[in-house]
A and B are shown apart, each in its own frame.
Chain A
Amino acid sequence: MNNIELITNGSIKEIREAVINRKLYTTELVNFFIQRIKNNKINSFISLYEDDALKRAEELDKKLKNCEKPGKLFGIPYAVKDNIAVKGYEVTCASKMLKNYKATYNATVINKLNDEDAIFLGKTNLDEFAMGSSTETSYFGTTLNPWDNNRVPGGSSGGSAAAIASRESVFALGSDTGGSIRQPAAFCGVTGLKATYGFVSRFGLVAFASSLDQVGPIGRSAEDLELIFSIISGFDEKDTTTKKIENYKVSEPTKRKFNIAYTNDIFGEEISPDIKNNILSILNLLKKEGHSISEVAFNFSKHSVPVYQILSCSEASSNLARYDGIRYGYQTKSYKSLLDLYNRSRGEGFGEEVKRRILFGTYILMAKNNALYTSSFKVSRLIRENLENIFTEYDVFITPTTFSPPFKIGEIIDDPIKMHHSDAFTSICNLSGNPGISIPLGLTDNNLPIGMQIIAKRFDENNLFQFAKYIQSITDYHKCLPEGVK
């Protein structure tokens, strides 16, 4: 493998080893990605910090010369979704409201990555305040899907997923409230993880729906993601919902036979035939390899989204109340009173989708509608109990990540209900707290990526990664790259 092949196709472990053995210089590595980000026209990054990244690369080179112990991510460049705080840099949430806002501290996950000698490149595009499934609600314009520039990359972490698919970084961080890591990972043909709620600190992630939000990695393979997860996971006293649990250790490759369940939803009319066929094809392969495969009735894909919308919008209406146009963020130019300043700053600073969700959440939380909010927990509990039942018998549960391959830009932006349904399979994990990973599963006849979601028991990421790595050891789907990137 020459250096270009290594940078484009190598794993984190391989690239790190090449850097430590001086076969590849950190500045060469960083320059490669900077040039690629600048030359690509897919709008995956909101900001690029070229000088600071190169300075950091030089510092690491010195560290190596001084024979200091290299970190687990020594010299590995990474991108960060622009709703995660990196001290001194803008964190816009792709909103006019926070256009020039600079973070005053690092998110815990950023400190952990930097402690392992990773190199921060810049901030990636997203749907405004992570509310959306296509990046079309971003104040900074839509990111283009690297597989077909007329299509969306998914969302809300569409910039991070597109950056990995087009090899503008080795890995990226995203956030997932209803599927915002896994759906874009599926749409861009890369691998994305939402961990168990409480496994990764949310400190420094701009809050959308605090009981559902999780930070997670998007990358080239399950192997890379597990390494990142082992670094960013763990208890954080600054996030009281993180669990005091032993540090996660990277799992060993296994030859054991898995007990696999898959949803009967894949036979539903709404599922694209390409997605159904590719999932059935991988299930057949697994059966031939001696694993146990069972179909289970799990009919919550049409119920998860309305419940998710009730809960997430209710929390969002409260979380986004902090943007008052006085202490930070956008302030209207013309106002008559203090109340008028609030109303106009928020009316002008937030985009259409964010206002829709805040209004819906506020409406739900009115006393007269309290039963809507309360009842949503009943459905949420039902979903969780049904998943728990599945994991009493099975190791992993397989669903499609999405109903369809990536849709065209503008195709459903005026139909919020249809757009929300992009999260049908993924929001199940956010409501139940279970971990889910989306792995690439080949291409449609039109050369568009397909994703498959694997769900495991809560806090059983070890099992999840063992299975995902196993599939990627017997298939090459995760190595497929868009035409222009090869």
Chain B
Amino acid sequence: MGSLEICKTNKNGGVMEINKEDIEKSANIAKIYLTQDEISKYMIDLKNMTEEFLDTLEDLNISLDMNFDFNITSLKYTNLRQDIPDNFNNIETIYKNAPKIKNNLFVVPEILKENKK
């Protein structure tokens, strides 16, 4: 399966497409391994979800662009607290939650190989 064209165009007449590369790129960024079957299925699902949103914009006569003042939606209040360090007394549970622990450190796969001659 190559690409799925989303017929609803934006106000500038551009046509949006979702193709296999979009799904693979998204999966790569999101760090999720997908099978070929999953890629095919999600390509259709994402196309349908995007198309539904474009239908909504068309219905409400709203242009698809990046012109929006985010200050309007931001909260009128942000109650930041003082940055005061506190002792956390439940470190054992954190160790127990880890898949692999050695000397109180999380174990990760080796990323730098020793140059063995």
Contact = CB atoms under 8 A, between A and B. Distances in A.
A372 interface: yes
A355 interface: yes
B75 interface: yes
A353 to B, nearest CB: 10
Interface residues of B, number: 57
Contacts of A335: 109
A22 interface: no
A88 B93 contact: yes
Interface in A93-133: 100-102, 104-105
B54 to A, nearest CB: 8
Contacts of B98: 326-328
Given A359-B30, A379-B62, A309 B57 contact: no
Nearest to A313: B49
Contacts of B94: 104, 328
Contacts of A380: 73
A339 B55 CA distance: 38
A303 B45 contact: no
B1 interface: no
B26 A331 contact: no
Interface in B83-117: 88, 90, 93-94, 96-100, 106-109, 111
A306 B56 contact: yes
Contacts of B48: 416-417
B106 A359 contact: no
Nearest first, the 3 A-B pairs at minimum CB distance are A347-B33, A331-B99, A306-B53
Interface of A: 87-88, 100-102, 104-105, 198, 235, 237-238, 240-244, 302-303, 305-307, 309-310, 317, 321, 324-331, 335, 337-339, 341-344, 346-348, 350, 355-356, 358-360, 362-363, 366, 370-372, 374-382, 416-417
Interface of B: 10, 18, 22-23, 25-27, 29-34, 38, 42, 45-46, 48-50, 52-53, 55-57, 59-60, 62-68, 70, 72-73, 75, 77-81, 88, 90, 93-94, 96-100, 106-109, 111
